[in-house]
Structure 1
Amino acid sequence: MSKIVQRKLKREGAGKGRPRNYNKPIDYTFSEMFDRFMSFKKTEGLAKKTINDYYTHFNYLIDFLESDLEKDEITLEVFRDYIDFMINEKGLSPVTANVRIRTTRAFLRYCYLENYIEYPIHERFKPLKTKEDTLESFTPKDIKMLLNAIDETNYTGFRDKVMIFILLDTMIRCSELIQLRRENVDLKEGSIKLEPHETKTKRARKVPLSTRTVKILKEYMDETEDFYSEWLLVTYEGEQLADNTIRWRFRDLGEAAGLTNKRVSPHTFRHTGALFYVLNGGDPFSLQKILGHSDMSMVRKYIQMTDETVKKQHNTFSPLRSIFK
């Protein structure tokens, strides 16, 4: 490798991670490159959902292309056109588009390092700029509206209520929620154990349950015992609940509750739980452990407060209260 190439790799950051293979380029098609990329990703021990997301996002791209690409057809313009299509024709939000852009860039970076393509296309397009405050939360009134819209007289309605209690109380992810087994729940101790292979960070953690959640969870577990399923959350037929089913149920619940100004999703409950935790006096360090984040900066994003909430907090904790009690 010449000194010029070495300096260029250091300057552009292309030499980070695995060194680039400088053997003669192989003329794989775009799909063949992706197959090899996925074979590599599966050796990294990624969660099943993450692997499936890579396939899903690649299929979105192939649908846009309408056909496979030969090596010489893989150009920067293809991906810039794809971004334009997502934003201006499909009307996707920058947040949604960025998820697909990031997985595409990771794929193209792999292709460049393996010498499947000759140019670092991934360096020429980046995720879109988004508003800093993109995470919204429910108010206590919103939560009550959602709970009041649930019909607890049927199994699925009661299960939805249980899911809301778990999501708010433990602040676990939807992907972690659907992987819970009955054996992961310790009602006596009041906790749920998350297995390392089922978490995003690949680290086991134990999240506490409040007395109210333990009570409703015990009732649910007693009711579903005759399903003889290892899974905690099951369908009416006793099968493991899918994440898409949960998202559809919550979307429909939001419409039934008349809550059309906010996105009713598992992640919104996670944000809400984190915000309420701090407002109720919880410290950010224990919250970080409960959320399963290794970086405190992400915790700060989760507890973004509205101007109204900041004003209420200020009235309660104003420095002047120490002087004029």
Structure 2
Amino acid sequence: MKKCFLFIFLCACSSLPSSHSSQPFVYEVIPSNNAFLSTVNKVEIKFSEAINPNTLTEESFMIVEGNYSASDTDTIDSTLADEEFNLVEGSTTLSEDAKTLVWQPAQVLPNGFFTIIVTSAIQNPKHFPLTQTPGQGNQYFVSIFQIQEETSVASQSTEIQTVYQFPDSVFISEVVADPQQDWNDTTGGNRIAFDSIPGVGTIGSTDEWIELRNGGSSVNLSGWSLEMLDGTDETLIFGESDETLLFFAGGSLDYFNNEEFLIVGDLPGDLKTTVVLNLRDDTGALIDSIDVADANGSGIDDEAYQLHETGEWNLDLATPGFE
């Protein structure tokens, strides 16, 4: 690690095109935003179009130590302009078509949070700068991942523990009832609502979502229902309501794949943080039910009520589409 002072100078140039129709944006990052990992060997960033290799510099792309939320633009701006950053050393390569950037760390990354920052200094060959929302000015892209090394076998308890097994059917795996991020991408993001890259717009009830996971064979969800019993009870019927469905392994309403994740967004009403959720099939049979006692989040670190591998439900980082 080395400490670097990073300075970004903004200027208005009359030679730049005024249209935002061809501005590049980041549409995918690996590891995904808010990923929790034991190690990271590389970071991969995919752009919507080719970028100018000459604009790929330490001022336009960086990975730094710390947790900087995409919505906390004031903190990032002031840090970029005035403060000392812990810049993570690594090597950067650009694919032949100039659409994919791959970064590899110079050494093993320690435990902690890391933030990926791509600024509007990145441009395409026609000098259009990067933005995550065309027409909203030049915007940078921010994504976070956390590293926590797995406990070594030698340090693990010798006590015999019961291993929890996820259900072998469709079950509820995560709930965001008190969103802390713009999950439906009202502004910014990669324009894919409820995926792992949130936007930077207004946060409200339209950013609430529920994640389902299929632990069994493929299933047709048409006619299934999701009851939300919180005093202002609502029932969502799959295929008949105005919900947004985001399948993460190529599935669809009539073919929810085995081991696939599904985010259900644009829920009816305003989901309360104390709620009973009942998942029923098309015959009305109860498939899964959870009693959410308190899903209040204080920040992005605890905005999601999640089912963990231990079988316990806890508040944690939101991980839409993966464990």
TM-score scaled by length of structure 2 = 0.22
Larger Rg over CA atoms: 1
Taking structure 1 as the reference length, the TM-score comes to: 0.22
Which structure's residues are more often helix, by fraction? 1
